[in-house]
Structure 1
Amino acid sequence: MARKYIDCREFPSEMKCTIAISADGEDELIDAAVQHAVSVHGETDTPTFRAEIRKAIHEGAPAL
């Protein structure tokens, strides 16, 4: 199973967030990324938002 990640740097914001979140499974990764987006960026946890997050998943490890 390949590691998966989401890199917050791909979503421009005033905060210039540099967080990258990784996990072995997509569901775990999406839960963590949504939790970050809600608590730090003020997003709302909706099915539509989770679908957008799912599109941002990459395999491997984020670039340094």
Structure 2
Amino acid sequence: MTRKYIDCREFPSEMDCSVALSADSEGELLEAAVQHAVAVHKHADSPELRTQLKSLFHDGTPPIDAPRSA
């Protein structure tokens, strides 16, 4: 099983979020990413949000010094 991650540093935001999430399963990562997107970034939980988040998943673990988006 390949670990998966999503990293807010890859996406510009008003709050310059530096959170990276990882999990052993896509389902677990999706739930954590949705909770983060709703609670921190004030997105509404929707099928579209879940599809968008899943498209941003990477295999492996987040790099320690990921470059921030400009």
TM-score calculated relative to the size of structure 2: 0.88
- For 1:16-35, what aligned pairs fall within 5 Å after superposition? 16-35=16-35
Quote the residue 1:47 is aligned against: 47
Q: Give the CA RMSD over aligned residues.
A: 0.6
Distance 1:59 1:6 in 2: 9
Identity across the alignment (%): 58
Quote the residue 2:2 is aligned against: 2
Which amino acid in the other structure matches residue 36 of structure 1? Answer: H
> Structure 1, unaligned stretches of length 5 or more?
none
In our comparison, the structure showing a higher alpha carbon Rg is 2
TM-score calculated relative to the size of structure 1: 0.96
| Superposed structure 1 runs of 4+ greater than 3 Å apart | none
Q: Name the SS of the counterpart of 1:44 in structure 2.
A: coil
> Number of aligned pairs?
64
